[in-house]
Amino acid sequence: AENGYELWLRYKLVSKGEFYTSYCLKNRKVMFPGETESLIAAKKELQAGLSGLLNIPYTEEETLEDNMLIVGTPQSVPLFKEQAFHAEINGLSDEGYLILNCTIKGKKTTAIVARTDIGVLYGVFHYLRLIQTNQSLDKLHIKENPKLKYRVLNHWDNLNGTVERGYAGYSIWNWERLPSYKEQRYTDYARANASIGINGTVLNNVNAQAKSLRTDWLVKASGLADVFRPYGIKVYLTAKFSAPKEIGGLNTADPKDPQVRKWWKDKVEEIYSLIPDFGGFLVKANSEGQPGPQDYGCSHADGANMLAEALKPYGGIVFWRAFVYQNERHVDRVINGYNEFKPLDGEFAENVFVQPKNGPIDFQPREPFHPLFGGMPYTPLSLEFQITQENLGHAGHLVYLGTLFEEVLQSDTYENGKGSTVSKVLQNYQKTHGISAIAGVPNIGTDLNWTGHLFGQANWYAFGRLAWNPDTSSGKIAEDWARMTFSNDKSVLSLVLKIMMMSRETYVNYTMPLGLNHIMNYDTHNGPEPWHDDPVWTAFDYHKITKDSIGVNRTAKGTGATRQYHNPVGEMFDDIKQCPQEYLLWFHRVPWNYKMASGRNLWDELVYHYYKGVDEVRQIQTIWNELDGKIDRERFEHVASLLKYQEQEAIWWRDGCLLFFQEYSRLPIPANLEQPK
Ligand code: GCU
């Protein structure tokens, strides 16, 4: 059944199969020696891939012959050592690979080569992708090294099986049956992640429970680590700062206390005895009620460094989140993270990443990039994206996030002059001891298709591809995904891609255009609630609507958020005339009659965007309907029915927001919403 379980690893007979068999793949034999777990995993994948995609038998041969596919490392295939490309192999990183057509001892071959077994596995996935996406196999000379070193999923999975803000069912970790019962799904999860280069996974929620570090739970986690290891995926855990108190029998978690420090050292030693390749800890501290070093008058750096010290002998890493804000109405939430962390630049141990979210509030449909990118030159930074659509329609709305990720990664911070994009900041190894990282909060759950919405898979996929190379274009990634997920047929592709590439802007239009943010339902984060008001924390803090104006003054004369950016970015945001329209109400407080670039006044412009958003959802429905009969029934119906739901939701957003705003603006919905001349 086409329920989406296979994700993008659908090894169905590929269109243009004959195109490949004419490349002599038909009688191609494979030389693939090696008995390590990772090489066996790679071989299984190659076997399943080639026989499925091309409907040809997979035959292995030990002696070199013409037209062979040779796969391995110089250890598993000593032949590689004598080749001209041997120097190139030595130039690969631990996870890199080469795919090349070459002549070995007079025989024409294709080689998939790496220095490590994991590199071989990655190379095999890439080779299969070439076929899945109908690329030429002529003149292959592909050299790939990942641009970022730690490419990590951050599951927000609770130990009771629920997922924080999870919209695709429950957690896929069946803790009760672990470690002995290992579901097939764990292996498929590892395959999918390895196919896009993800090499780490934090198993549990940042809103942590201390018991995840208790011996019985560590043993369970080790069961997952065993499944993931052959696929190059390391297991990480969140560490609750109060664990020494909660499960360690101490009466404090004070980082200054030698007993506390010893507790963490012993705990880490125990973890490594069970999970020898344990990745490290992810920590949410002094944020939204979580305990942390500030409870003891210590800084984030003091807390992080204590854990780093314990992990260091084993090569473990700390990801210390920068998602902090004072829960007080008079303090602008946007400026908190920078203000708390910027002064600590340079104070973190060498195996600590500070991890800000992509933007300074909280995974909104659109935010300017977080000013800590460019603001902490001496600290390795890990960027946290949200793949799960907490504020982007949950799993019910079709929103391709590749474009959002790209927009953030390509934003120029001007840290070292023009061209210092967020992507470059992440890759700036000079001052950060050669480590780099990116994290994504996944949308993975127990739904048959993993992500709830079929198109949610594209967001998982896009995150992985961008983690491998943050400068890949979101359009190229969308195309690869669509080819692998649906078809190489041009008429299918052009429709699917049109939808994907417009979908995020469409979502912004019908929910939070022009820099509006955080006006979603207070509890569920789904649907509109710009009218939410309560004594502590309210949507009114985010839009500050009055009968005259809307938006928040975050300029130098306002809360000063614009001053956290390097110039000319800061100046651009600060000046209402230069500020990109999509961030207008984020940085500025704007009167309803303000004249926009379009010639409309602000009110009309806002109305225009909300109406446009709904219209675009209808366009997406029309485009999708053209796929009727061109793709399988099940997936067609699945998306078609979700699009109907999305249309209703878009109308709800539009009408809910505009009716509320209108109570203040007292202006009519203009009759003609077309672009004025
Ligand atoms: C958001 C989200 C929470 C989450 C938090 C975090 O506020 O709604 O559920 O715990 O982010 O990232 O820590």
Q: Is the pLDDT of residue 672 over 70?
A: yes
Same domain, 357 and 421: yes
Q: How confident is the model at residue 676 (pLDDT cuts 50, 70, 90)?
A: very low
For the stretch 498-527, pLDDT in tens is 999 999 999 999 999 999 999 999 999 999
For the stretch 551-585, pLDDT in tens is 999 999 999 999 999 999 999 999 999 999 999 99
Nearest to 148 by CA among 464, 480, 476: 464
CA of 323 to the centre of ligand 1 (A): 9
Q: Is the pLDDT of residue 85 over 90?
A: yes
Please indicate whether residue 535 or residue 532 has the higher confidence score (pLDDT): 532
CA of 346 to the centre of ligand 1 (A): 27
Is 532 inside a domain boundary? yes
Q: Is the pLDDT of residue 188 over 70?
A: yes
- Which helix (H) or strand (E) segment holds residue 203: the answer is none
Q: Residue written as tokens 């004959």?
A: 18
Please state the rounded mean pLDDT for residues 291-310: 98
311's torsion region: left (phi>0), alpha (psi -120 to 50) or beta?
alpha
Q: Is the pLDDT of residue 8 over 90?
A: yes
Protein residue closest via CA to atom 8 of ligand 1: 165
Which of 390, 391, 394, 525 gets mutated to test ligand 1 (max ligand atoms within 8 A of its CB)?
390
Q: Residue written as tokens 């130990």?
A: 159
Same domain, 298 and 403: yes
Ligand 1: which atom is nearest the Cα of residue 288?
A: 13
**658 within 8 A of 607, measured Cβ to Cβ:** yes
Same domain, 645 and 625: yes
Q: Residue written as tokens 């006044």?
A: 601
Q: Which residue in the list 390, 447, 605, 616 is annotated as catalytic?
A: 390
Q: Does the annotation count 288 as an active-site position?
A: yes
**385 within 8 A of 430, measured Cβ to Cβ:** no
Ligand 1: which atom is nearest the Cα of residue 205?
A: 10
Q: How confident is the model at residue 677 (pLDDT cuts 50, 70, 90)?
A: very low
Spatial CB neighbours of 620, under 8 Å, sequence gap ≥ 6:
398, 499, 502, 503, 506, 643, 646
Q: How confident is the model at residue 26 (pLDDT cuts 50, 70, 90)?
A: low
Q: Residue written as tokens 């949950």?
A: 394
Q: How many helices (H) and strands (E) does the chain have?
A: 20, 16
Same domain, 199 and 231: yes
Q: How confident is the model at residue 18 (pLDDT cuts 50, 70, 90)?
A: low
For the stretch 102-128, pLDDT in tens is 999 999 999 999 999 999 999 999 999
The alpha carbon of 99 is separated from its chain's Cα centroid by a whole number of angstroms, namely 26
CA of 233 to the centre of ligand 1 (A): 25
H helices of 91-144, in order, are: 117-132
Q: Residue written as tokens 């807390």?
A: 303
Q: Does the annotation count 390 as an active-site position?
A: yes
CA of 67 to the centre of ligand 1 (A): 53
Same domain, 325 and 297: yes
Is 226 inside a domain boundary? yes
Per mean pLDDT, which range of 59-68, 141-150, 198-207, 302-311 is the poorest?
59-68
In percent, how much of the chain has pLDDT > 90? 92
11-15: long-range contacts at Cβ-Cβ below 8 A with a sequence spacing of 24 or more?
A: 11/48, 11/49, 11/51, 11/52, 11/53, 11/128, 11/132, 12/52, 12/53, 13/52, 13/53, 13/54, 13/55, 14/53, 14/54, 14/131, 14/132, 14/134, 14/488, 15/134, 15/487, 15/488, 15/489
User: What is the C-alpha separation between 262 and 281, in angstroms, rounded?
Assistant: 16
Same domain, 338 and 465: yes
H helices of 21-141, in order, are: 37-54, 86-90, 117-132
Same domain, 136 and 181: no
510 CB-side CA count, 13 A: 30
Of 99, 128, 144, which residue constitutes the final position of a domain?
144
Spatial CB neighbours of 639, under 8 Å, sequence gap ≥ 6:
398, 453, 454, 455, 624
Burial 10-40, CB ≥16 within 10 A → b, else e: bbeebeebebbeebebeebbbbbbbebebbe
Is 647 inside a domain boundary? yes
Is 11 inside a domain boundary? no
Per mean pLDDT, which range of 43-57, 336-350, 392-406 is the poorest?
43-57
Ligand 1: which atom is nearest the Cα of residue 287?
A: 13
Q: Does the annotation count 362 as an active-site position?
A: yes
Q: How confident is the model at residue 675 (pLDDT cuts 50, 70, 90)?
A: very low
Nearest to 401 by CA among 465, 445, 346, 351: 465
Protein residue closest via CA to atom 1 of ligand 1: 362
Same domain, 156 and 38: no
Question: Residues lining ligand 1, CB < 6 A?
Answer: 164-165, 206-207, 284, 288, 323, 362
H helices of 182-242, in order, are: 184-195, 215-228
Structural domain including 528 reads 508-552+589-665
Same domain, 237 and 91: no
Of 97, 115, 144, which residue constitutes the final position of a domain?
144
Which of 157, 162, 323 gets mutated to test ligand 1 (max ligand atoms within 8 A of its CB)?
323
For the stretch 413-466, pLDDT in tens is 999 999 999 999 999 777 778 899 999 999 999 999 999 999 999 999 999 999
Q: Is the pLDDT of residue 274 over 70?
A: yes
Q: Is the pLDDT of residue 623 over 50?
A: yes
The number of distinct structural domains making up the chain is: 3
User: What is the C-alpha separation between 155 and 109, in angstroms, rounded?
Assistant: 42
250-to-174, 208, 254, 546 alpha-carbon distances in Å: 30, 18, 10, 52
CA of 249 to the centre of ligand 1 (A): 29
pLDDT for 25 equals 67
Look up the CATH number of the domain holding residue 99. 3.30.379.10
Q: Is the pLDDT of residue 227 over 50?
A: yes
CA of 356 to the centre of ligand 1 (A): 12
Is 110 inside a domain boundary? yes
Is 497 inside a domain boundary? no
- Asked whether the CA dihedral 622, 624, 630, 632 is positive or negative, the reply is negative
Largest CA distance in the chain: 82
Is 185 inside a domain boundary? yes
Ligand 1: which atom is nearest the Cα of residue 284?
A: 13
For the stretch 625-660, pLDDT in tens is 999 999 999 999 999 999 999 999 999 999 999 999
ω into residue 293 within 30 of 0, thus cis?
Answer: no
Kindly report the CA angle at 350 between 349 and 355, in degrees rounded to 5?
A: 80
Return the number of other C-beta atoms located less than 10 Å from residue 330's C-beta: 6
pLDDT for 384 equals 99
Q: Which residue in the list 60, 94, 309, 362 is annotated as catalytic?
A: 362
pLDDT for 56 equals 83
Same domain, 460 and 548: no
Of 118, 144, 170, which residue constitutes the final position of a domain?
144
Look up the CATH number of the domain holding residue 521. 3.90.1330.10
**Mean per-residue pLDDT over the chain, rounded:** 96
Please state the rounded mean pLDDT for residues 70-91: 96
H helices of 512-601, in order, are: 540-543, 569-574, 584-587
Structure tokens at 314: 């084993």
Using DSSP, state whether 628 is helix, strand or coil.
coil
Ligand 1: which atom is nearest the Cα of residue 206?
A: 13
* Terminal CA-CA length for the chain: 52
Q: List the beta bridge partners of residue 197.
A: none
**569 within 8 A of 526, measured Cβ to Cβ:** no
Work out whether strand 549-550 and strand 590-591 pair parallel, antiparallel, or are unpaired. Answer: antiparallel
Protein residue closest via CA to atom 2 of ligand 1: 165
**321 within 8 A of 283, measured Cβ to Cβ:** yes
Same domain, 440 and 535: no
Same domain, 22 and 97: yes
Q: Residue written as tokens 């080790």?
A: 222
Is 498 inside a domain boundary? no
CA of 526 to the centre of ligand 1 (A): 14
